[in-house]
Chain A
């Protein structure tokens, strides 16, 4: 067994996928995760097999399932973003293409994955990005979701969803870590209150941006 070069010297190697890992193992591991993100495996099974074969090759040489279509930089902070599935790090790009870069995953609402093959350009203008599943959030719950460079705070109040900028206008605290009181969120740092419906606050010129939210087929989509 060859030891991977990751981890501190002397530390036991951290390997999610030991030698002998198969494409089926990867599928079983990744499936439930990408489902949470609003994605599924490409409907073209032959293509999926081809991508996973590439990932297994990468796994054998590097010790983890880095994207088979992108080159590792050698900087662990950067490379952690291209461990498959990399959807959380490229939510906006992939939502626009309706698939991940390699096409291993397609958005849950896409019926024919093969038809998306070769699509690499992002459409212009606003895009709907899946940020949560309705069932994964309870009333009164908040969640921080990064979409590209934008940090969103997604709230659920009385079965309804709201998305605002996750940056408090006072001293930039994450509003997603605050407390809900009806439709008001209290900032965790100094208690400024924002209305999650329209981002307004009682401090002059300090409203936060809100983003349109759509709920479709059990998924919460934010337009950014």
Chain B
């Protein structure tokens, strides 16, 4: 299952989510939105908005499901952990 994490470099829940995925050996792509420049940044923000309806982080995409925040229970469920 494809897992993608939209994160901010300054956000604790983003760090905790990534740590959780690492610990569980889940491979994922990560986009640190605040580290992007200009157009890339705007594109990523637009993507986050359309996925989550807001600009709160992290936004974690698991297959076709979207998890907003460090919702461990939901992430586990979706990954079958």
Contacts and interface: CB of A to CB of B under 8 A. Distances in A.
Interface in B3-28: 8-16
A118 B10 contact: no
A134 to B, nearest CB: 33
A119 B13 CA distance: 11
A121 B10 contact: no
Given A57-B10, A69-B13, A118 B71 contact: yes
Contacts of A58: 10
Contacts of B12: 47, 50-51, 54, 68-69, 102-103
B43 interface: no
Interface in B42-59: 45, 48, 54-57
Contacts of B9: 57
A102 B10 CA distance: 11
Nearest to A73: B55
Contacts of A121: 71
Contacts of B57: 69-71
A55 interface: yes
Nearest to B68: A120
Interface string A118-159: 111100000000000000000000000000000000000000
Contact of B70 (A57, A68, A70, A117): A117
A61 to B, nearest CB: 8
A70 B34 CA distance: 10
Nearest to A68: B10
A120 B60 CA distance: 13
Nearest to B34: A71
B10 A101 contact: no
A71 B71 contact: no
A27 B55 CA distance: 25
A47 B15 CA distance: 11
B70 A54 contact: no
B33 interface: yes
Contact of A71 (B8, B68, B72): B8
B45 A71 contact: yes
Contacts of B54: 70
Contacts of B15: 50
B74 to A, nearest CB: 9
A207 B67 CA distance: 42
A-B pairs, 10 with minimum CB distance: A120-B69, A54-B10, A68-B10, A71-B55, A69-B11, A118-B72, A50-B12, A118-B70, A57-B10, A70-B56
Given A54-B12, A102-B11, A118-B70, 12 more contacts: A50-B15, A51-B12, A54-B10, A69-B10, A69-B14, A70-B8, A70-B55, A102-B13, A103-B12, A118-B69, A118-B71, A119-B71
